[in-house]
């Protein structure tokens, strides 16, 4: 399958209000690079399309038009340094909802940006690209009972508490 450079097989599209500032926030937090040639303004003056590359993925954006429903985005991002990303996100007004937690050989965290999008932020040690997921089972997980660890319980609980809060920030 042919995929253009800078895009993945599946690419997220965020519809939000105040997209200009959301893009600036993501440039600061994730060192994103905007594709300025993709920027398209609709006849009503709202941004119809913009693109921001973060790592090897391009995120597309559109300004939410009057009457369109609020649709928070839920996105997963792999980074080199979870703590540095969270520090920049907090400086930009984000709310950390899951502190950095060991998660199957990775470091995992979540934050809600000021536009109420939820970001899953992961870091994988360079010496263990497959993580502990590959080691987690012996191939016969159908009969295994899952025992939640305190870390997994915390990760689950912070998600369950956060999702109902993702309401339209303009209301």
Q: In terms of domains, do 102 and 118 share one?
A: yes
Quote the tokens at residue 29.
């937090």
Q: Which of 29, 52, 69 is the last residue of a domain?
A: 69
Ranges under pLDDT 50 in the chain = 131, 133-134, 138
Total domains present in the chain: 2
Q: In terms of domains, do 103 and 117 share one?
A: yes
Q: Supply the CATH number for residue 162's domain.
A: 3.30.720.110
Q: Supply the CATH number for residue 51's domain.
A: 3.30.720.120
pLDDT in tens, 126-148: 765 554 544 555 455 555 666 88
The residues near 115 (Cβ < 8 Å, ≥ 6 apart) are: 16, 17, 18, 22, 72, 169
Q: In terms of domains, do 86 and 167 share one?
A: yes
Q: What is the pLDDT of residue 6?
A: 80
Q: Which of 40, 69, 98 is the last residue of a domain?
A: 69
Q: What is the pLDDT of residue 130?
A: 52
Q: What is the pLDDT of residue 140?
A: 52
Helical pair 82-91 and 19-30, crossing angle rounded to 10 deg = 150
């Amino acid at each position: 399958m042919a995929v253009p450079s800078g895009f993945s097989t599946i690419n997220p599209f965020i519809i939000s209000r105040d997209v200009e500032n959301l893009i600036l926030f993501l440039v600061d937090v994730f060192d994103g690079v905007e594709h300025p040639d993709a920027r398209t303004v609709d006849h009503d003056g709202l941004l119809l399309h913009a693109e921001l590359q973060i790592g090897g993925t391009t995120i597309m954006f559109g300004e939410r038009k009057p009457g369109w429903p609020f649709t928070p985005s839920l996105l997963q991002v792999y980074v080199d340094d979870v703590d540095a990303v969270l520090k920049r996100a907090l400086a930009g007004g984000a709310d950390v909802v899951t502190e950095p937690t060991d998660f199957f050989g990775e470091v995992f965290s979540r934050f809600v940006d000021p536009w109420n999008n939820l970001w899953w932020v992961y870091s994988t040690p360079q010496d263990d690209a497959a993580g502990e997921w590959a080691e987690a089972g012996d191939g016969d997980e159908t009969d295994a009972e899952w025992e939640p660890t305190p870390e997994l319980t915390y990760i689950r609980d912070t998600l369950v508490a956060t999702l109902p809060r993702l309401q339209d920030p303009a209301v």
